Amino acid sequence: MGDCDVVDMGFETLHDGQTIQFPPAILAQLGNDTDKATVCFYGHVDVQPAKKEDGWKTDPYTLTENNGNLYGRGATDNKGPVLAWIHAIDTYMALKKDIPVNLKFIIEGVEETGSPGLVKLLKEHEKFFSDVDYIVISDNVWLSRKPALTYGTRGNAYFFVEVESGKKDLHSGTFGGIIHESMRDMVYLLASLVDTSGRILIPGIYDDVAPLTEEENKLYNSIDFDMEEHKNNTEVNTFLYNTKVRGVSSFISSRFFY
């Protein structure tokens, strides 16, 4: 009925030559009905470091129940959401209900360090993902205390930049100010990409970006969200944008759209 494989995520070679093997990932699928859409669930089971002295009332690595809530490192990011999907499938099966979609899973253990082996996995298992129609990422946060499902977000692009100047390592006290310095050039380069309001300055980058419609503005305006409460929760005095909605320069549109 379903398939599940443990797959290699590769390894990393450190500067001293030592190699570190990444934890394996899980690829699983359930259902292969060509009349159904295929949904791929992405999740991870690694967590950020945590110590009780960081402010935890209980041991962060011991799942603890308090007033109906479960507390522990990874309860929301991301072991809890992974387990929720497993329980959902289990419920369908227990009730002998047909799952309305084909399901595929990718669950990894190095997300918190940048998923260094994920590109390798995607290339080596390209066929596994070839029929995926939708992807669900279980990493997310609510904008308020009201439970919510986020069905879209802005895109991301990552680039690696190297700047080289002279081949020889020169003393900054003797040669500083008279040669092109890589660090200074890098600072200038990065500063030219975005202005102080967060708007990208690369020519033409917004040419194919569709403007927000009036319907979308109304939809965003109905989202249960309080700017002042969000400032308190994030412990910042100001955001880049002071308005909740309305156009490109607003909190909601910048958080999810642009």
> 129 and 33, same structural domain?
yes
Q: Which two tokens stand for residue 215?
A: 């319907």
- Kindly state the average pLDDT of the residues 38-66: 95
Instruction: Let me know whether 122 and 27 are in one domain.
Output: yes
Asked if the structure places residue 160 within a domain, the reply is no
Nearest alpha-carbon partner for 118 in 34, 23, 48: 23
Domain that holds residue 249: 172-256
Supply the pLDDT for residue 224. Answer: 81
Asked if residue 124 and residue 46 are part of one domain, the reply reads yes
Give the model confidence (pLDDT) of 128-174 as tens digits.
999 999 999 988 777 777 777 787 777 778 788 889 888 888 888 88
Give the sign of the dihedral formed by CA 147, CA 149, CA 152, CA 153.
positive
Count of structural domains within the chain: 2
Catalytic residue annotation: 46, 111
| Cα of 98 vs its chain's centroid, Å | 31
In the prediction, which pLDDT does 249 show? 59
Determine the pLDDT at residue 213: 85
Whether pLDDT at 247 is above 60: no
- Report CA-CA distances (Å) from 103 to 37, 107, 194, 196, 250: 9, 13, 40, 43, 36
Side chain identity, residue 182:
S
- Average the pLDDT over 10-39 and give the result: 95
Assess if residue 37 is contained within a domain.
yes
164 occurs within a structural domain = no
Q: Comparing 82-96, 201-215, 240-254, which segment has the lowest mean pLDDT?
A: 240-254
Are both 25 and 92 inside the same structural domain? yes
84 Cα distance to chain centroid: 18
d(CA 140, CA 50): 19
At residue 54, φ and ψ (nearest 5 deg) are -70, -10
pTM higher than the cut 0.85: no
Indicate the pLDDT class of residue 1, thresholds 50, 70 and 90.
low
Whether 88 and 179 map to the same domain: the answer is no
Domain shared by 109 and 47, yes or no:
yes
Note the pLDDT of residue 97. Answer: 96
Structural domain includes residue 69: yes
CATH code, domain carrying 189: 3.30.70.360
Residues 201, 125, single domain; the answer is no
Residue 231 has pLDDT above 80, yes or no: yes
Sign of the CA dihedral 168, 173, 174, 176? positive
Question: In sequence order, what are the beta bridge partners of 255?
Answer: none
- Check residue 246 and give its pLDDT: 58
For residues 22 and 110, state if they share a domain.
Answer: yes
CA distance 230 to 143: 7
Beta strand pairing call for 25-30 and 19-21: unpaired
Model confidence at 61: pLDDT above 70: yes
**Per-residue pLDDT at 248:** 53
Q: Are residues 191 and 101 in the same domain?
A: no
Phi and psi at residue 151, in whole multiples of 5°? -105, 15
Is the backbone peptide bond immediately before 102 cis, with ω within 30 degrees of 0?
no
157 belongs to a structural domain: no
Distances (CA, A) of 121 to 22, 77, 82, 176, 258: 12, 22, 19, 45, 29
Task: Give pLDDT, residue 120.
Answer: 92
Q: Which of 119, 137, 155 is the last residue of a domain?
A: 137
Residues 6 and 126 in one domain: yes
Same domain, 124 and 206: no
In a domain, 150, yes or no: no
Between these two residues, 231 and 152, which has the higher pLDDT value? Answer: 231
Residues 129, 176 share a domain: no
Let me know if residue 26 belongs to a domain: yes
Confidence of residue 201 (pLDDT cuts 50, 70, 90): very high
Residue 214 has pLDDT above 60, yes or no: yes
pLDDT at 81 over 80: yes
151, two tokens: 């069905």
Return the structure tokens found at 163. 């700047």
Residue 195 vs residues 68, 89, 238: alpha-carbon distances, Å = 46, 47, 17
* CATH code of residue 128: 3.40.630.10
Inside any domain, residue 232 = yes
Q: Which of 137, 161, 184 is the last residue of a domain?
A: 137
pLDDT at 258 exceeding the cut of 70: no
Mean pLDDT value across the chain: 89
Question: Which residue among 137, 159, 192 closes a domain?
Answer: 137
Tokens of 76: 């929301």
